[in-house]
Amino acid sequence: MKPVAIFRHIPSEGAGYLSVFLDRHEIPTELIRVDESAAIPTDPRLYSGLVFMGGSMSVNDPLPWIEQSLALIRAAIAADIPVLGHCLGGQLISKALGAAVTRNPVKEIGWGEAYASNNDSARAWLDGLAHFTAFHWHGETFALPPEAVHLLSSDYCENQAYALNGRHLALQCHVEMTRDMIDAWCKNGLGEIEAARGSPAVQTPDKMQTGMQPRLNALNQVADRLYSYWIKGLNRS
């Protein structure tokens, strides 16, 4: 089986729980360290799927790897190779397909409810789950590209997830979180948290880290549902 390519944009936003899930299912992976100037591949057919993780930059920034990533995403979707995006990764998918990525009305940082849309696609991807507590860390939001199906919303961000062609998934919220990731983000992002204290959707590090493990366990179960549906589209040859 060809590996799943995982694109890391900053060191603290790696694959997280997704890596655990893929290992459990014996799916090989290749980590592409964009943050260490790794080259963006041009041929998506080298992989069974593509996964784009988060990052502190904007997809609207003039970074050379962004245009290269957008071209790769378009080529993968044209070739029916599943694409999965987390936060920045979801925004990359939208931008690649011509949809806007703009500032969200408020910054979202911390735990918050995500609500499933009332459609068959949402029920399939989430295995009937109506809502769950997601982890958020974003100041921008994506619009849905043509033919995308809305999957999730939150109180402060309408577009939290969408699916395309039954095999591509874009997430604004984070379902890949681990304890180490949350601890690192709270430490590294303290200045951002302080600067956004006026947002009703921004939590303190103490709020995010208190009672964290039960929330992570529940979030892992949500990730299992989404990732299990996504890997159905992978080419196993």
- Asked whether residue 110 is domain-assigned, the answer is yes
pTM of the model: 0.97
Report the percentage of the chain scoring pLDDT > 70: 100
Please report which confidence band the pLDDT of residue 50 belongs to, taking 50, 70 and 90 as the band edges.
very high
- Asked whether residue 237 is domain-assigned, the answer is no
- Asked whether residue 95 is domain-assigned, the answer is yes
Please report which confidence band the pLDDT of residue 65 belongs to, taking 50, 70 and 90 as the band edges.
very high
Cα separation, 130 vs 122, in Å, equals 9
Phi, psi of 76 (to 5 degrees): -65, -45
Cα separation, 210 vs 66, in Å, equals 36
Q: Is the pLDDT of residue 111 over 80?
A: yes
The string of pLDDT tens digits covering residues 144-177 is 999 999 999 999 999 999 999 999 999 999 999 9
Cα separation, 188 vs 200, in Å, equals 21
- Asked whether residue 163 is domain-assigned, the answer is yes
- Asked whether residue 236 is domain-assigned, the answer is no
Which domain, by its residues, includes 97? Answer: 4-231
State both tokens at 19.
Answer: 């890596």
State both tokens at 21.
Answer: 């899930």
pLDDT for residue 142: 98
pLDDT for residue 198: 86
- Asked whether residue 24 is domain-assigned, the answer is yes
What's the domain count of the chain? 1
pLDDT for residue 236: 83
Provide the CB-side half-sphere exposure for 170 (13 A, CA). Answer: 29
Cα separation, 172 vs 158, in Å, equals 10
Please report which confidence band the pLDDT of residue 237 belongs to, taking 50, 70 and 90 as the band edges.
confident
Closest CA relative to residue 115, chosen from 151, 166, 163: 151
pLDDT for residue 207: 97
State both tokens at 71.
Answer: 């071209």
- Average per-residue pLDDT in the chain? 97
The string of pLDDT tens digits covering residues 173-212 is 999 999 999 999 999 999 999 999 889 999 999 999 999 9
- Asked whether residue 50 is domain-assigned, the answer is yes
Find the CATH number of the domain harbouring 73: 3.40.50.880
State both tokens at 219.
Answer: 């979030």
- Asked whether residue 16 is domain-assigned, the answer is yes
Q: Is the pLDDT of residue 235 over 90?
A: no
